[in-house]
Structure 1
Amino acid sequence: MAKIALNAESDLSMIENSELAELAAFTAVATHRSFRKAAIERGTSASAVSHAIRSLEGRVGVRLFHRTTRNVSLTDAGQMLFARLGPALTDMREAVDELNSWRDTPFGTVRLNVPNTIARFVLGDTIEKLLKANPGLRLEIVATDRRVDIVEEGFDAGIRFGERLSQDMVAVRIRSGLRFAVVGSPAYFENRVAPITPHELRDHVCIRYAFPGGTLLNWAFTKDGESVQVEVDGPLTVDNQEMLVDAAVRGLGLAYVWEQRAEPGLQDGKLVRCLDEWCPVDDDLFLYFPSRRHQTAGLRAVIDALKA
């Protein structure tokens, strides 16, 4: 195996800014096995990350990655470097973050993954207050209904309903009492009788919601200990909650949405509810993050704001 030769002079040069950035890029690629995902974590382009890796390999004179059109893997030299650099860079980040204890407010960047269906309602007011109270804090929010591995994709934390999380995650409850609602326009119900039970939805036109990847959302109901999941049907399928509500307002069918998203239409009479007693309080909402990762001052500020 080729050796990476570093003398005392080159050891000192390794801490120069550009070279430190190369090492940080190397660690990101080694962690994710992807230049694209490393670029997302680093807040830069995949081409910039690739350039940093080529520069690092040229400087040390050793290939660090095997690259194909589909895969990225570490060479033996790359594995050795990654094993040494990972803990070192973590220590450096934690040391810099500890400077927050000397400041009135935290600084740094926090990356959050949030379901698109609820992002605006959960974060809207919180973001404004959080950033005003912490001028040194930067937030990067990715709102998607795609199931995301927050560690693999470089997020500091994510937000989910009360789903089962892996044991290496810490979950903090940030919202309780969430409900879904089945809504339709008054025009839709002019010539139709509102369903009394979920089983009657087979006689109604429903607007279907598709997750990224194409999976359709089944409508879930509970009453008196009975749980029902209905695979609804209708001519319209959308992957956007705003379009879903808009289509219901236009009388194109019934929609199954988080009730806060339907609230404006319910208040102004453009929407009416049905099957209300079959829509109990849903799962709580949690912010979660890796238990083994250092919790930065910025993330602590986000957690405190969302809990409040």
Structure 2
Amino acid sequence: MIGDNLRDLHAFLIVSEEQSFTRAAKRLGVSQSALSQTIRLLEERMDMPLFQRTTRRVSPTEAGERLLTLIGPAMEEIQQGLAQMNALRSRPAGTIRLSADEYAVHTVLWPALPAFLANYPDIKVEITTDYGLADIVGQRYDAGVRRGGLISRDMIAVRIGPDIPMAVVGSPAYFERNPKPRRPQQLIEHNCINLRLPSQGYFGWVFRKSSKEHRVKVDGQVVLNSIFQVVEAAVAGLGLAYVPEQLVRSRIDAGQLVEVLREWRQVYEGYHLYYSNRRKSPPLSLLLEALRYTA
């Protein structure tokens, strides 16, 4: 009933504006006879004439003018509201909740976010830094960011970053006191800075040479839970660090750190954005395209 009234009142307004059933019918996309029937039924429901009809024009009666004054502003607000809703539909909005480890935030997400957020001012991005393998469905994340190989098979994963070569580094002061290791096995004789992960324990020191993998269980006086703190501890001469090469390249170039065991370097598969097989939200689809990696 309300829908019928709104439709009929809208027709009444258009006829009032055009002062012609012919022009109003064309504007509404209906036949002139259908429009005349709509107005006649509206007049019957209100039990009063709303228009004076002549051969040249159609003009509101006194009752019609009164109705026009009452409903005109309200109908205009409704039209403006609908226009705003259509604008929202064409302008993506919403919140994207992400779980990512510290290094992924630093190297993959931060570089892309400024331009993305500027392009989509109605999208918000909420990032939780987490080294654990978060249950993104159970914890109500839209997506997670982890290295390839760490993602469950029941997730959809899209690559968003290059491979990650690792590096063993120490400060010049540390190597003044200790000989440089020539093989990974010699690391057991060194003070190594461990990174403890919440769900996996110590981050493993893995090496590869001639397609053969070598794992070394290292020890040292310092254990941290932030990869950036591990780098600072190495710069301070507290021991050797096993970190992504990109993270310490500028420190190596500046002479603050020295890389060893380069020929034994392990390379991990790059970061992927992963999500469940449910339908992606439009904001997440846009972020995925902004992050997608092409070699």
TM-score > 0.5 by shorter chain? yes
Corresponding position of 1:77: none
* Alignment partner of 2:94 out of 108, 125, 128: 108
Distance 1:251 1:282 in 2: 26
TM-score, length-normalised on structure 1? 0.64
Q: Which amino acid aligns with 1:153?
A: Q
Counterparts of 1:73-222 in structure 2 under 5 Å?
102-103=89-90, 105-212=91-198, 215-222=201-208
Deviation at 1:117, TM superposition (A): 3.1
Query: Relative to structure 1, is the Cα distance of residues 117 and 102 closer, same or farther in structure 2, using a 3 angstrom cutoff?
Result: closer
The answer for the alignment partner of 1:224 in structure 2 is 210
Once residues 127 and 217 of structure 1 are traced to their aligned partners in structure 2, the CA distance between those partners, rounded to angstroms, is 28
Q: Equivalent residue for 1:12?
A: none
Mark the CA change 1:140 to 1:116 in structure 2 (over 3 Å): closer, same or farther. same
| Contact 1:100 1:106 survives alignment (8 Å) | no
Q: Which of 275, 278, 281 is equivalent to 1:296?
A: 281
DSSP 3-state at the match of 1:141: strand
Q: Secondary structure at the residue paired with 2:248?
A: helix
Amino acid in the other structure paired with 2:132 = R
- Return the alpha-carbon distance in structure 2 between the equivalents of residues 141 and 265 of structure 1: 27
CA distance in 2, matches of 1:285, 1:259: 15
Structure 2 contact 157–273 (Cα < 8 Å) conserved: yes
| DSSP 3-state at the match of 1:187 | helix
2-side partners of 1:140 and 1:99: how far apart?
Answer: 26
Q: Secondary structure at the match of 1:111?
A: strand
Aligned residue number for residue 246 of structure 1? 232
Instruction: Give deviations 1:191-244, integer Å, cap 9, x for gaps.
Output: 322111111101111011111257111201111021011110111111111211
SS in 1 for 2:247: helix
Question: Does the Cα contact within 8 Å between 2:133 and 2:199 map onto a contact in 1?
Answer: no
Conserved? CA contact 1:119–1:143, under 8 Å: yes
Distance of 1:229 and 1:139 partners within structure 2: 38
Instruction: Give the TM-score, by structure 2 length.
Output: 0.67
| C-alpha deviation, 1:141, in angstroms | 0.5
Pairwise mapping of residues 31-50 of structure 1 onto structure 2 (< 5 A)?
none
Letter of the 1:216 counterpart: Y
Identity over aligned residues, as a percent?
36
Residues 38-95 of structure 1: CA distance to partner in whole angstroms, max 9, x if unpaired? xxxxxxxxxxxxxxxxxxxxxxxxxxxxxxxxxxxxxxxxxxxxxxxxxxxxxxxxxx
Query: Relative to 1, partners in 2 of residues 1:164 and 1:218: Cα closer, same or farther, differing over 3 Å?
Result: closer
Runs of at least 4 residues off by over 6 Å: 98-101
Judged with a 3 Å threshold, the aligned counterparts in structure 2 of structure 1 residues 235 and 299 are, in CA distance, closer, same or farther, namely: same
Q: State the Cα distance separating 1:284 from its structure 2 match.
A: 2.1
Amino acid at match of 1:129: A
Which runs of 5 or more structure 1 residues have no equivalent in the other structure? 1-97
Shift in alpha-carbon separation, 1:282–1:166, aligned structure 2, 3 A: closer
Instruction: State whether residues 205 and 234 of structure 1, in contact with CA within 8 Å, keep that contact through their aligned partners in structure 2.
Output: yes
Question: What displacement does 1:122 show?
Answer: 1.2
Distance 2:188 2:204 in 1: 13
Name structure 2 gaps, 5 residues minimum: 1-84
What SS does the aligned partner of 1:288 have? strand
- Rg bigger for which structure? 2
Partner Cα distance (1:135, 1:274) in 2: 45
- The answer as to whether partners of 2:206 and 2:266 remain within 8 angstroms in 1 is no
